[in-house]
Amino acid sequence: MSDLTIATIAFNKPWAISEQIRLFSKYVSDDHKILVFDNSSESGAASMIERICAIEGVKYTRIITGKHFHHEALNMAAIILTEHESSPYIGFVDHDVFPATDVSLTEQIAHAGFLTVGQRHNPTGKVYAWPGFFFMSRSWLAGRNLNFNGIKGHMRADDGDTGSMNHHLFTEDTIREMYPLTHGYENIREHDDYGIQSFGIERIGDFIHLTNTSGWMDVPDAEGRERLLRERVREL
């Protein structure tokens, strides 16, 4: 039994999964294993991701819902991790989150029982965990349900992002108890009017988050941006 089981949600980027497996193995000192839940909308990409997992000895699960909603993949992963895995620590990451230096995740999780980036649903003020970087001990979860759906507001504009229904796990005080993660941004090319999803990446403690790897937001020269991202990750 591994001390830490991590679910990563793949989406159409085989190179990201390949690098994620490599970098978690290189930098994460905990006895851990990665489970890949493939939410890809492109069959060719899914076949490549499945092949990578077979070569690396990583368990692969194909998500087939027809709509490829991120919350559906996360909810399936949550069922597997909480009901069919026995590691004392579990976690969820997006496919473009990578450790960038040596780290013990279990030590950081144990500080408060969980580790994440706190977010807020502005219409209600409720705080929740960003599901792209969310780890916890099983003892902290204590049998409570994980729900990666978004809050439904009175109007569509008030709907919450994926994972905001996990607000029931947190209060303002519990978020403050968490291991203190540094947070910042790094530019990979010149600023433009499209934001960090175009010209930068995010730093979360000992990790980097590439942002927009799945291409959910249209940005100028998306192929050029991806080349820069891949070069950045290859250097790790």
pLDDT for the residue numbered 92:
98
pLDDT of residue 226: 96
Helix (H, G, I), strand (E, B) or coil at 186: strand
- CA pair distance 103, 8, nearest whole angstrom: 18
CB-based contacts of 88, cutoff 8 Å, min separation 6: 3, 4, 137, 138, 139
Q: What is the pTM of this model?
A: 0.96
Q: Which of 45, 37, 91 is CA-nearest to residue 69?
A: 37
Q: How buried is residue 13: exposed, middle or buried, by Cβ count under 10 Å (0-12/13-18/19+)? A: buried
- Beta carbons within 8 Å of 10's beta carbon, 6+ residues apart: 16, 17, 36, 37, 38, 39, 40, 49, 95
Q: What is the pLDDT of residue 127?
A: 96
Domains (ranges, CATH) in the chain? 4-180 (3.90.550.10)
pLDDT tens per residue, the chain (236 residues)? 899 999 999 999 999 999 999 999 999 999 999 999 999 999 999 999 999 999 999 999 999 877 899 999 999 999 999 999 999 999 999 999 999 999 999 999 999 999 999 999 999 999 999 999 999 999 999 999 999 999 998 888 888 999 999 999 998 899 999 999 999 999 999 999 999 999 999 999 999 999 999 998 999 999 999 999 999 999 99
Q: What is the CA radius of gyration of the chain?
A: 17
Using CA atoms, how far apart are residues 109 and 179, in angstroms rounded to an integer?
7
